[in-house]
Amino acid sequence: MRESYPVEQAVGIERFVSDTDGIGGRIRVEDADFRVREVERFDAEPTDADPGAYPYLVVRGTLHGWDTNDFAKRLSDALGISRERVSWAGTKDKHAVTTQLFSLRKIDARDLDDVAIRGADIEILGRAGRGLEFGDLAGNAFEIVVRDAGNPENTAAIREELEAFGGGKPGTVGVPDFFGQQRFGSHRPVTHEVGLHVVRDEWEEAVRAYVANPYDTEPEGTQSARREVADAFDDRDWRAALDALPRRLGFERAMVNRLVERDGDDPEDFRAALEAVPSNLQRLFVNAAQSYAFNRILSERLARGLPFHRPVAGDVVCFTERVDGLTVPDTDRLQEVTENRVETVARHCERGRAFVTAPLVGTETELGKGEPGEIEREVLADLDLEPGDFDLPGEFDSTGTRRPILVRTDLEASVTDDAVTFEFALPKGSYATVILREFMKTDPANE
């Protein structure tokens, strides 16, 4: 198997599963080249429903070139409310055209009459009794154009390899269900480093990793600012650290400003600094640490040559459900695979009724047995982690779950000159870029 690029290895993705040379090319040459639409699983009552019983207004936004967090802040500013009153089911990339749901707490439909946001079309759907939560969607449908492909003719060969990896069904490709680069920071993959420090109860190191850790892929001015912040950390000069940070680094400034307020003397001050950022970002730090460990587990499984489309003894599988034509894993329905059940469970996997899983480790995680469990324990030991470490305060706490190790999708690919257009749908939490990396095989650091 081909080794991955250094920036991928930094987040636990160590290999490709296809050997054919990539098609090359670029994505997101234009925002419209990357279109993603949520496959929704959230019901809304009519707009005139009682706001007392249904205090959340549900809207569908089609966003051109907006990061979800940035749009939520812009929308909350336009409505004159806290950003914490805006929630959504899944975070989308900036350089794309995205269609997704938002819920607005204690907002009337008329409040949107005078709201006009560049690059955003907002459609009012109705009211709901609760706000959207992360994962309140079945999945996402994608239409992605890869431009300037040097070897578009290799598309078919790569597709055949991915069909074989996914179990051999024609038209259905399969790849390891890695967490994609953007989970960790596309050009500055540090969120998992922050999370690992949090889980190890290293609060100061967590703050330092986020605000004072320059990456070569950042603009030189940003790198220089982070180096100044690192010096200020050494001197405990929080005002100098704040002055060094440009205003565009809003989350970093929020953390350091909290250190200025509290003098930054003990671990509680640094924990408070991490809590100065939005709650979803606090959760993301720990989620990224879990994701990194998960990627490492999948990479080790690949290295050992264990199958992804069917179980071996010791695996834990989850069963599935169908939502709007999409096969969605139900991780509340888990089953350990014993030696005498391997072939029976394998048939369920071949028919798309079950998936082999690996842990997103948390306080309630039960590790597998046999060789899969051995891999899980070795990776966690190497990272100095164990399930009990995730018993953390506030938004940092996590009970953990399990996640399929394989993602399969019916994929259409059309080639025109030096461009290839891909169409496919993925369950929530799976990354389109994990599919595309197998076809393109380009270095993410150069994107």
Q: How far apart are CA 343 and CA 47, in angstroms?
A: 51
Q: How far apart are CA 317 and CA 354, in angstroms?
A: 6
Lookup: tokens for 281: 């970002």
Distances (CA, A) of 87 to 52, 130, 136, 143: 19, 10, 11, 25
Q: How far apart are CA 354 and CA 361, in angstroms?
A: 20
Written as one string, the DSSP assignment of 56-90 is EEEEEEEEES--HHHHHHHHHHHHTS-GGGEEES-
Q: How far apart are CA 321 and CA 210, in angstroms?
A: 38
Count of beta carbons in the 10 Å neighbourhood of residue 347: 11
- Torsion angle (degrees, nearest 10) of CA 130, 68, 425, 147: 170
161-186: b (≥16 Cβ within 10 Å) or e: bbbebbbebeebbbbbbbbbbbbbbb
Does an H or E element contain 208, and which?
helix 203-211
Distant-in-sequence, close-in-space partners of 185: CB < 8 Å, separation ≥ 6: 191
Q: Which single residue is written with the structure tokens 């306080």?
A: 363
**214: Cα within 13 Å, side-chain hemisphere:** 16
Distant-in-sequence, close-in-space partners of 110: CB < 8 Å, separation ≥ 6: none
Q: Find the catalytic residue in 93, 136, 177, 389.
A: 93
Strand 34-40 to 97-105 pairing:
parallel
Written as one string, the DSSP assignment of 257-318 is HHHHHH-S-SHHHHHHHHTTS-HHHHHHHHHHHHHHHHHHHHHHHHHHT--SSS--TT-EEE
Q: How far apart are CA 28 and CA 396, in angstroms?
A: 33
Whether 93 is a known active-site residue: answer yes
Contact call for residues 411 and 171 (beta carbons, < 8 A): yes
Lookup: tokens for 82: 């806290």
The catalytic site residues sit at: 93
